[in-house]
Amino acid sequence: MKYVTTIEGKQFEIEVVDDRHIRVGGRLLEVNFETVSGQPVYSLILDGKSYESYVYSGDEDWQVLLRGRQFQVKVEDEREKRLKAAAGGGVAEGGELHLKAPMPGLVVAIPVNEGDEVKKGQVLVILESMKMQNELKSPRDGTISHIKVKAGESVEQKQVLLNLH
Amino acid sequence: MFKKVLVANRGEIAVRIIRACRELGLETVAVFSEADRNALHVRYADEAYLLGAAPSRESYLRADKILDVARRSGADAIHPGYGFLAEREDFASKCADLGITFIGPKPSAIAAMGDKAEARATVIKAGVPVVPGTEDVGNMTNDDLLRIAPTIGFPLLIKATAGGGGKGMREVRSLEEMPALLASARREAESAFGDGNVYLEKLIEGARHIEFQIMADEHGNVIHLGERECSIQRRHQKLVEEAPSPFLDDELRKKMGDVAVKAAQAVNYVNAGTIECLVDKDRNFYFLEMNTRLQVEHPVTELVTGIDIVAEQLRIARGRQLSYTQEQVQFKGHAIECRVNAEDPFNNFIPSTGRITHSIIPTGPGVRVDTGVYPGFEITPYYDPMIAKLIVWGETRAQAILRMRRALEEYRIVGVRTNIPFHQTLMDSHRFMAGQFDTRFVEERFSMETASELDEAQAEIAAILATLVAHKETERSAQIVRGNERDTSNWKWVGRWERMHR
């Protein structure tokens, strides 16, 4: 299977030939690839050179943590890439924005009310987590359409706190 | 002389204290919250008692419940560790009333140093230099503070009177922004310490944070164990500490050490404590505050002096003399500590919670790891995000940095994101290597994006890794879809298949 893999705009053409071989930009390399006890830590021996890395799957891409450096990696198989090119890119920006909790914690205060006009950078929610108070700011100008949590409430990560129109 | 020590804390520091007690043949009693039933300190102690629900104010901050456990278990001493009840004068007094040895200073010393404004007044009298700021002790209103602020001059800092750890601290650049910052500082101080009092201090720019470890016994002996450089901070939270400081020479070290001893003597200090100072570019130093407890970063001092500070604390609390005179304290080599926090350095250091599924702790020459977690342990949002301290020793600072790099690369923690990549980037930074940094370094002149261009060879390896993982996932899902006997409908399988490719 052939893949086109992109890091910071740079493309790598990688073909998985079989269990033991890959082809990178025309070079055939011997590969020995294992997960370390089934974790997102992977051990790779590539033509005798040994690497170890964390590979996490993100929403749309992969995050590879290698020697203290994190890479955002997009992996597409050739067919997928062709389909996408045919469909044409670009997603329209939605009018409504959901402010989500970036971490689990306790809502300390919500210094805005429903219907308030807010400016970009204005504090919308104060969330306490791991003994620190974090101010969640508005990513853009808008109107608070709906507040879904109350002060004193515990929230989970990615829970929607309020809607901004 | 006490025989059974209750450790009124959790995490790595509770483990650290239990270890010292074990070595000295003292029995140990752990206390725990509902979130910590499986924590290491519970498993290592001789006895363990449940305090209450996970939030600190229902468990580790419940002095009444902790004292009740002491009574029930027959513990005749309490070690408070750091944080929680460690700097609460009322708790230390209650211990004394019940005939329980509080392993730390006298309540009067905690009170004198715990109230930051009173501490300033006390050390000024002893001839110790302090940062210019509000001198009035007690509750100042916002109006008072707003009136005084221009006389101190901007930029300045709002600090919590009962403070510590950067909580309730705000930097003010102008009078206009001060009212809002006062409100948020008071709110944070109120929630962290139950005391919303604040005071003002001039902000010294380009300053280093250097602190001295003090040891004092009940017989009037006070010594210092040298300094720790703690300038690598983010949002006033220390991230890296080292000893000795690359900024001090023997002359300044002696001068500051003498002043630190004097400050401790000013409050008749007993047991382990730390004098925190700011040192400006011109090597002027100012007393900042005294922490009347064991510090998180005490291991770097232990590694360069060879002195077990916790064991020494226990000795002192038993009424013995210090094991060392000032002349006997010798420094050897260099030590660095990295605080490993459950925070994502690539995502604005957002706290990360979850279950640690896998962990490989670095070992080998000159490496020490103090931690309270292990695979299977859950990192919850209830407590601070520090999960381990990685400490290394080297003959020179350069060797210590190389060793730290090696140890950081070996460290594997899976299940939560950690700030290990931050430490790796820091250890590679030329400014850190050259010792050129101040307390603003991390926030103002440091970036996780390495200055150099994309390393193509490394990027290629990363690309191969991601591709192989993606390929594995595709193969796995393809096999499942091809399977004959499905336990759910084909439509569901198609849905799952498609989700894999989103």
For the stretch B372-413, pLDDT in tens is 999 999 999 899 899 999 999 999 999 999 999 999 999 999
Q: What is the pLDDT of residue B240?
A: 98
Chain B residues inside the 8 Å CB shell of A21 = none
pLDDT band at A60 (very low <50, low <70, confident <90, very high): confident
Is residue B451 predicted with pLDDT exceeding 90? Answer: no
Q: Rounded mean pLDDT of B478-493?
A: 62
Q: What is the largest CA-CA distance in chain B?
A: 85
The tens digit of pLDDT for each residue in B402-430 reads 999 999 999 999 989 999 999 999 999 99
3-state SS, residue B34: helix
pLDDT band at B453 (very low <50, low <70, confident <90, very high): low
Question: What's the ipTM?
Answer: 0.71
Percent of chain B whose predicted confidence (pLDDT) is above 90: 73
Distance from CA of A53 to the nearest CA of B (A): 8
A103 touches chain B (CB under 8 A): yes
A121 touches chain B (CB under 8 A): no
Q: Rounded mean pLDDT of B224-235?
A: 96
Burial of B108 (0-12, 13-18, 19+ CB in 10 A): middle
CB-CB contact of B38 with B376 (8 Å): yes
CB-CB contact of A15 with A1 (8 Å): yes
Alpha-carbon span B253 to A36, nearest angstrom? 48
pLDDT greater at residue B203 or residue B298: B298
Q: Would the CA dihedral through B377, B236, A156, A35 be positive or negative?
A: negative
Q: Where would I find the beta strands (DSSP E) of B185-243?
A: 198-202, 208-216, 222-234, 237-243
Average pLDDT, chain B: 92
pLDDT greater at residue B443 or residue B453: B443
Is residue B433 predicted with pLDDT exceeding 60? Answer: yes
Q: Rounded mean pLDDT of B163-168?
A: 75
Q: What is the pLDDT of residue B450?
A: 62
Q: What is the pLDDT of residue A121?
A: 81
Is residue B436 predicted with pLDDT exceeding 90? Answer: yes
Alpha-carbon span B147 to B194, nearest angstrom? 25
A4 touches chain B (CB under 8 A): no
Q: Tell me which chain B residue has its CA closest to the CA of residue A126.
A: B184
Q: What is the pLDDT of residue A90?
A: 42
**Exactly one of B62, B234, B293, B368 is catalytic; which is it?**
B293
Q: Are strands B47-52 and B27-33 parallel, antiparallel or unpaired?
A: parallel
pLDDT band at A91 (very low <50, low <70, confident <90, very high): very low
Is residue B485 predicted with pLDDT exceeding 90? Answer: no
Alpha-carbon span A128 to B191, nearest angstrom? 10
Nearest Cα neighbor of B193 from B227, B217, B166 is: B166
Q: What is the pLDDT of residue B174?
A: 92
CB contact under 8 Å between A42 and B468, yes or no, is: yes
pLDDT band at B21 (very low <50, low <70, confident <90, very high): very high
Mutation for B interface: A131, A154, A156, A157, most B CBs within 10 A: A131
- The amino acid occupying position B384 is D
Q: Find where tokens 């109006």 sit.
A: B143
Q: What residues are paired with B199 via a beta bridge? A: B159
Q: What is the pLDDT of residue A102?
A: 78
Is residue B490 predicted with pLDDT exceeding 80? Answer: no
Is residue A92 predicted with pLDDT exceeding 60? Answer: no
CB-CB contact of B285 with B279 (8 Å): yes
Is residue B163 predicted with pLDDT exceeding 90? Answer: no
Is-catalytic flag, B62? Answer: no
φ, ψ dihedrals at B321, nearest 5°: -80, 160
A133 touches chain B (CB under 8 A): yes
The tens digit of pLDDT for each residue in B60-76 reads 999 999 999 999 999 99
